[in-house]
Structure 1
Amino acid sequence: MKTWLWIGSCLALGQLAFVTQAQAQEAPVEESAGGIGEIVVTAQKKSENLQDVPISITAIGGEALGATQGTSLQALQSMIPNVQIDNFANTPQSAVFTVRGIGVIEPDPYAGNTVSIVVDGVPQFFSMGALLDLYDIDRIEVLRGPQGTLFGANTTGGVINVVTAQPKGEFGGHVKAVYGNYNRFDVTGSIEAPLVQDVLSLKVAGIHTQRKGWVTNVVDGTDLGRKNLDAARAYLRFTPSSDFDATLQGEYVNARNGSPIVISGAYAGEAIYQAPGVLNMYVSPCAGGGQCSAPDKYFGANNSVPDESNMDTWSGTLTMNLRNSGLGDITSITGYKKFRLREFTDQDGTPDFKNDTYRRTEGWQFSQELRTNLELSDSFNVLVGGFYLKNHYDHIQAYRLQFAAPGLLQTNLQDQDNYSISGFAQAYWQATDRLKLQAGIRYTHERTISAPSLITSIGNPAGSNYTGEGNTVIGSFTTGGRKAWNNVGWKLGADYEITNDTLLYASWARGFKSGGFTARVGVPADGATPFDPEKVDTFEGGIKADLLDRHLRINLAAFYTNYRDLQVAQIYFDRATNTQGNRILNAGRAEIKGFELETTAVPVEGMTLRASLAYLDARYKEFLYTDAVSGQALDLKGFRLQNAPKWNATVGVNFAIPLGNGASLVSDLSYAYTSSKFYTAILDTPRSKIQPTHLVDGTLTYKPEGGAWSIGVWATNLLDARYLSTVYDSPGYGGIAGYAPPRQFGASASFSF
């Protein structure tokens, strides 16, 4: 009852805002040209106006993405209510997405995902490489809350739906160049050429981006964290008739970046701590013993491994649409992806040779979705389909513990297969002119086969052997097993049009994340027993309103989530055996509640105001936890979930100043706030706490009449605030910290044809 009262009070707030604005609308309003434009999304696997979709969703168009000057999904961090987009502290190629407090902070694929990244209809199973490179994007849709009915398992937190700019069958293209500090240079562009008019069209898009790192290596003065990436995507679109189209697309990404940066966040006396007085050592950001704090100048250290993190990705997608068939509008999406990652990490982040890591991963996935949208009557339609996913990966992590014994090497080998098949149906009934009801169900069968092993050996004390080949083996074991899970998820919902431009909605959705086996093992027990699936029930209500002749938009969603058997990654270090262990634990239950408020206003022609406010209360309700270091049994009821800040807010203004002759000067200024959060420490330790962040970004762009070209200047983190972005806390062993980007600025030029 308290839950429904809480949701009801938040809805009342939204209704109050609506009533207030409706009253204001009764007063005479000077009509201005152009209100808030319609945004078309495919959040329910069909094209709809954003304001008609009864889901808490944020959509960002390609032009707005370009204005962020970011080249990956991480550019959206702090921009979207109740969404965190990060990476693991010492594996920047592995994405960490957390939506409404639900996420996985674990770099290896065995842990799975709770937020699904979907690219042109294809779910991306692996978190490695999931911080997608952004170029030639039509839009990104961020769906909050469980989306299991339409998007399948492992979407308990939500979905990030990326839609690339598809061919249009017309000749045209664009090119954009960006130059900035840290020797940044980007070139993006695309070109489309019809091969057979109105039948066959070819499009090619690409990106090159490079920059130096902003962390200085105290060992030799070089920069750490450089980036150098090339990617190309090609489409071939076939449209022989108005009832059928097929698009074949392929992409290759070549990343040749600097190795992961490790900042020693250790306290005095911990294993990776660099004693004071050693040549070139920098001050630890966690040296005070409490919460870590970023310095004015960023320093790190790498003296024992090559400075490289190389990743190659190949992917292909075939999408076919058949309309007006006897079985409805049929869509088939076939996807394949393969990747290879090789990277080195100086794990201690000090000028001493203490410990480091060599990681190599190869993986592939194949998926097939087939669905049809059946219009059974003027008021009733149902989406019915099936989905199949098969993936496999091989992984080696060679971890050298030089501080424990010269030449000591622990080599973890992972070999895992995952298989999933599901069937789903989502029905919509227009009960009255204004009331629509929906119900969906999905059955999923998943299976995992895992065979991880650990080999402990002694080799060259100088540490030149990264793979352990030829070493003297002093111990080994193999663990793992196979397990299958079945699940039924569902969604029930209703939405009601109060007016033509105001939608009130409510829903109950159950989501599911599959179980699995821990694969990065330190002892046989780590991977011998599977961890159980987790389940999520989310109750959500909201209001979407376009007011004042579509010059004001207010979207409010409130939610309550009952989170059961949630999977929590535990990384620990047993100093008695010099062994790093990893386990996925099932916490008993957590409770999450909050709201998201997003507003947009166009008070006068040429000016757009935007703001958002999100609140999140995410806490364990049942979690009896045994600390791996002390062996103490703890009751974590009331502890906050990881990567779940209580508040985040944004405010921004975009203003186009007419210059005459059709030219304009477009300015954009934005501010984003995220409150403090805990990161990679189940016990919410002081060292794992990330400070509140305040970020200001701005752009100034000149556009001539017609807008065929533009030039501009830009800056991110305009005030040059210094923050930590990640902290991995392992008490008794050490801390690993990562820094958020400092101020970046530069100029850009674009041309369309």
Structure 2
Amino acid sequence: GRLGPATASGDVVVTARRRSETVQKVPIAISVIGGTALAETGTYNVNRLTQLQPTLQFYSTNPRNSAANIRGLGAPFGLTNDGIEQGVGIYVDQVYYARIASATFDFTDTDRIEVLRGPQGTLYGKNTTAGAINVYTRAPSFTPEARVELTGGNYDFFQGKASVSGPLVDDQLAIRLSTSVTTRRGTIYNTRLDQHQNSQDNASFRGQLLWHATPTLDLTLYGDYNHQNPNCCVQYYVRTGATQRPLSRQYAALAAAFGYQVPSTNPFDRVTDLDTVPLAKQAIGGTSLLATLDLGGATLTSVTAWRFWDWVPNSDRDYIGLPVTTVSANRSQQRQVTQEVRIASNGDRKIDYLAGLFYFYQTVNVEGLQVQGAAASRYTLNPTSADANIPAVLNGLTQTVTSHLGNTSAAAFGKLTWHLTDAISIAPGLRVNYDEKNANYAAVITTGAGAVLSCTPAPTAAIPRDQCATLAPQRYDPRLKKWNLSGDVTAAWAITPDVNAYATYARSYKSAGVNLSGLPLDAANNPILAAQTVKPEKVNHYELGLKTQFAQRRATVNLAAFWTDIFDYQATVNNSQYAVLRGYLANAGLVRSRGLEADSAFRPTTRLSLYASGAYTDAKYVRFVDAPCPPELSGGTTVAAGQTPGAAGVPGGLSPANCNISGQVLPGVSKWAASYGAEYDLPARIAGTDGQLYLGYDGSYRSRFSSNPSPSAYTYVRGYALSNFRLGYKTGRSLNVFAWVRNAFDRNYFEVLATQSGSTGLIVGQPGDPRTYGGTLSKAF
């Protein structure tokens, strides 16, 4: 149905606690978006979901380098490191997706999406310390039905969705098939390649087979495949900011040395001249078997799944039209197997229970390739060095990376709900978790002449020294095994049938991690093995919630207040080498996220519905004393003992080896965020059919946020508000035709900003979509 970010109906049924309950009675901060609302608001992937969910953050520079956070927590900001877990669990039809990248598909045949906020480790198979996103597709039907949805818009946008369902054997076997295709011309024009980039090109197929094997046993077999091959993903010139690198080695002087100019210094002209053809090809798919057995007093559930994700990329990681880094491609192949078994009590009992076992095994294999180009010597080496004027020193310098991760996780978890009275309950939960990671990483460097480069001991001759300073070989084999015990307790009070309060404390963990993007090197160019692994995050979470309905349930107002402390927060940091494309992981001492959230929905008349959701999130590093420095404090000569670092942004100064950023904000999260909207309809009779004409509005706002792991004056994304409108006609659930415009006021905003490697001062970014408009026709048969 059309459920918004909050709903005025107390009868919305969710399965957030692995049993069917009305959303207002679940003592969890949860929002529900129905399939109709997803279609009408154009929310067809996780990225667009953020416009309806102010507490959800999603940032991406390409599908692999994507992260979903809730309340500012979940995954470290920056390039993805395969060796750590995500803190926000993504589940599709109860199957855990190990990487947010494998969930960058278009929503197809979706019934609803539940967004749960806060730790969920005692209810879900994989431990999720920040929250969970549950996607449920429509189930096979024993009544024949079909759906078609067609959408067209500017930028040559086309999206087609179709599904069909019905019985194969009456009352015993039913099938559902669905498919989706999305294409769109890119919004960025590359003048050098004469190509529109950041396009969309997605196709997916999903099938389900439901078998009522016995009156008490249901088996559902799922299979899905998704293929994407867009001209994507590019970031390009936004601005420059002064660093402590000598002025002759900052962006303006380097560009002038080549007589180079970007096509436009206004990023919202949406033009670039990147000289590398972008590639973001991926194949996603898998199969799963869901079995549910009704035992009378309880239900036994088994979820068995196998999934794959294949990633074939290429990026221009110098972000400009000079051949500095001509190839940056880290192919990845991921496979995962999961098995979850749960038993949950049925009906109303004095004590309800849920208990489960979970097993997860994942392999990740990466073949990385980075090639330096003809401009690399002049652009990256000190111009006073003779090597800077010899293109052959770095031209063709190639890094070939092979890495492997074997990731095993197993857990036993459970939760009891003890109903002390009809109105008061207490629900303790417990989880025992085991994690084992076995990995290896090897980077081999070859020169443009094809010779294998050796950097240990550190060479003294100028050419190999400069080559090793750009790309250095390394090899290491991280291993870890960890057990942990976590738990939570929730007290709930049904003050009245329409007013429910709860309080929760959770002690949670995010698994220890291994570094799989290369390590910092010591003076002899050996990897610093102490950085091979990072400690698990330890989470203390406190939450108070109030869920209310009034005015004959025409109004819903839900409130939540939370405080989350994370010890040994897993952060992404970078070393000072120019060509290091990927940061490595380190533990920050303490991070805190606290805030207030409100979800509300109103239906003052049968014709008018309103909703508003807001979040105040104060997310900070409480203690991070040895963090990477922001660009304005980077690029100079590293201070020695007794020396004082130079002033920020003053070229040629002394730079601190690291910075104390305690008290500064976490990246990627706005202090203030909101979503709001309204829909008004009027009865209308067209072609002899009764229906409704309707006008809808959906808006969202986010205040500014930091787009760098260490806050920088140069990388704050300014706050912005977006407005979407739709005007249409619908007849119940059978026909819906509407025109829409999104980002109606053509607001210029960035999804993410980043820095060019090497402290050149160049700031690059990825702008959000401009104004788009079009029409949608959906029909159910």
Q: How do residues 79-478 of structure 1 correspond to structure 2 at under 5 angstroms?
A: 79-87=52-60, 89=61, 91-104=62-75, 105=77, 106-265=79-238, 267=240, 275=255, 278=259, 281-284=262-265, 295-304=267-276, 306-324=277-295, 328-355=298-325, 356-374=327-345, 378-402=349-373, 403-404=376-377, 405-459=394-448, 472-474=452-454, 476-478=473-475
Q: Distance in 2 between matches of 1:97 and 1:209?
A: 22
1:535 equivalent in alignment to 2:538: yes
Q: Distance in 2 between matches of 1:435 and 1:579?
A: 56
- Give the conservation status (yes or no) of the 8 Å contact 2:161–2:181: yes
1:72 is matched with 45
1:379-412: CA deviation from partner (whole Å, max 9, x where unpaired): 1121111000000010122122321311111222
1:42 is matched with 15
1:743 equivalent in alignment to 2:771: yes
Q: Distance in 2 between matches of 1:514 and 1:256?
A: 33
* Secondary structure of the structure 1 residue equivalent to 2:101: coil
Which of 571, 574, 598 matches 1:571? 574
1:501 equivalent in alignment to 2:501: no
Q: Distance in 1 between matches of 2:529 and 2:576?
A: 13
Deviation at residue 519 of structure 1 after TM alignment = 0.8
Deviation at residue 221 of structure 1 after TM alignment = 3.2
Q: Distance in 2 between matches of 1:742 and 1:570?
A: 32
1:639-660: CA deviation from partner (whole Å, max 9, x where unpaired): 1111121000122101111124
Deviation at residue 335 of structure 1 after TM alignment = 1.0
Q: Which amino acid aligns with 1:623?
A: F
- 1:199–1:312: structure 2 CA closer, same or farther, 3 Å change rule? same
Q: CA RMSD in A?
A: 2.2
2:514 is matched with 517
- Give the conservation status (yes or no) of the 8 Å contact 2:225–2:284: yes
Q: Distance in 2 between matches of 1:737 and 1:35?
A: 39
- Give the conservation status (yes or no) of the 8 Å contact 2:141–2:167: no
- Give the conservation status (yes or no) of the 8 Å contact 1:148–1:510: no
2:759 is matched with 732
1:256-281: CA deviation from partner (whole Å, max 9, x where unpaired): 11132121346386677672695662
- 1:270–1:283: structure 2 CA closer, same or farther, 3 Å change rule? farther
1:638 equivalent in alignment to 2:663: yes
Deviation at residue 634 of structure 1 after TM alignment = 2.9
1:715 equivalent in alignment to 2:741: yes
Deviation at residue 129 of structure 1 after TM alignment = 2.6
Deviation at residue 582 of structure 1 after TM alignment = 2.6
Deviation at residue 528 of structure 1 after TM alignment = 5.1
Residue range with higher mean Cα deviation, 263-272 or 69-78: 263-272
* Secondary structure of the structure 2 residue equivalent to 1:588: strand
Q: How do residues 650-729 of structure 1 correspond to structure 2 at under 5 angstroms?
A: 650-660=675-685, 662-679=690-707, 681-704=708-731, 706-729=732-755
Q: Which amino acid aligns with 1:457?
A: T
1:241-298: CA deviation from partner (whole Å, max 9, x where unpaired): 331100001001111111321213463866776726956623446xxxxxxxxx4421
List gaps (5 residues or longer) in structure 2. 1-6, 242-247, 378-393, 456-472, 522-526, 635-654
- 1:263–1:238: structure 2 CA closer, same or farther, 3 Å change rule? same
Q: Distance in 1 between matches of 2:530 and 2:746?
A: 44
- 1:693–1:731: structure 2 CA closer, same or farther, 3 Å change rule? farther
* Secondary structure of the structure 1 residue equivalent to 2:107: coil
Q: TM-score, normalised by structure 2?
A: 0.85
Deviation at residue 413 of structure 1 after TM alignment = 1.9
Q: Which amino acid aligns with 2:492?
A: D
1:13-54: CA deviation from partner (whole Å, max 9, x where unpaired): xxxxxxxxxxxxxxxxxxxxx963621111111111100100
* Secondary structure of the structure 2 residue equivalent to 1:383: strand
Residue range with higher mean Cα deviation, 212-221 or 653-662: 653-662
* Secondary structure of the structure 2 residue equivalent to 1:110: coil
Deviation at residue 93 of structure 1 after TM alignment = 4.0
Residue range with higher mean Cα deviation, 122-131 or 46-55: 122-131
- Give the conservation status (yes or no) of the 8 Å contact 2:33–2:113: yes
Q: Which amino acid aligns with 1:302?
A: L
List gaps (5 residues or longer) in structure 1. 1-33, 286-294, 461-469
Deviation at residue 68 of structure 1 after TM alignment = 2.0
* Secondary structure of the structure 1 residue equivalent to 2:83: helix
1:612 is matched with 613
In the alignment of these two chains, the number of paired residues is 694
1:190-243: CA deviation from partner (whole Å, max 9, x where unpaired): 001210011001110010110100001021432111111110000010013331
Q: Which amino acid aligns with 1:44?
A: R
Q: Distance in 1 between matches of 2:753 and 2:678?
A: 33
Which of 477, 480, 483 matches 2:477? 480
Q: Which amino acid aligns with 2:94?
A: G
Q: Distance in 2 between matches of 1:35 and 1:527?
A: 54
- Give the conservation status (yes or no) of the 8 Å contact 2:192–2:273: yes
Residue range with higher mean Cα deviation, 233-242 or 632-641: 632-641
- 1:472–1:65: structure 2 CA closer, same or farther, 3 Å change rule? same
- 1:549–1:312: structure 2 CA closer, same or farther, 3 Å change rule? same
1:560 is matched with 563
- 1:350–1:446: structure 2 CA closer, same or farther, 3 Å change rule? same
- 1:242–1:110: structure 2 CA closer, same or farther, 3 Å change rule? same
Q: Which amino acid aligns with 1:709?
A: L
- Give the conservation status (yes or no) of the 8 Å contact 1:94–1:129: no
Deviation at residue 530 of structure 1 after TM alignment = 0.9
Q: Distance in 2 between matches of 1:353 and 1:527?
A: 35
Q: Distance in 2 between matches of 1:582 and 1:95?
A: 15
* Secondary structure of the structure 1 residue equivalent to 2:229: strand
- 1:120–1:270: structure 2 CA closer, same or farther, 3 Å change rule? farther
Residue range with higher mean Cα deviation, 681-690 or 501-510: 681-690
* Secondary structure of the structure 2 residue equivalent to 1:641: coil
- Give the conservation status (yes or no) of the 8 Å contact 1:526–1:581: no
Q: Which amino acid aligns with 1:342?
A: V
Deviation at residue 78 of structure 1 after TM alignment = 3.0
Ranges of 4+ aligned residues in structure 1 off by more than 4 Å: 268-274, 276-280, 470-475, 578-581
Deviation at residue 64 of structure 1 after TM alignment = 0.6
1:546-566: CA deviation from partner (whole Å, max 9, x where unpaired): 111110000000011121110
* Secondary structure of the structure 2 residue equivalent to 1:640: coil
Deviation at residue 687 of structure 1 after TM alignment = 2.0
- 1:527–1:187: structure 2 CA closer, same or farther, 3 Å change rule? farther
Deviation at residue 574 of structure 1 after TM alignment = 1.6
- Give the conservation status (yes or no) of the 8 Å contact 1:517–1:531: yes
Q: Distance in 1 between matches of 2:250 and 2:508?
A: 41
* Secondary structure of the structure 1 residue equivalent to 2:37: helix
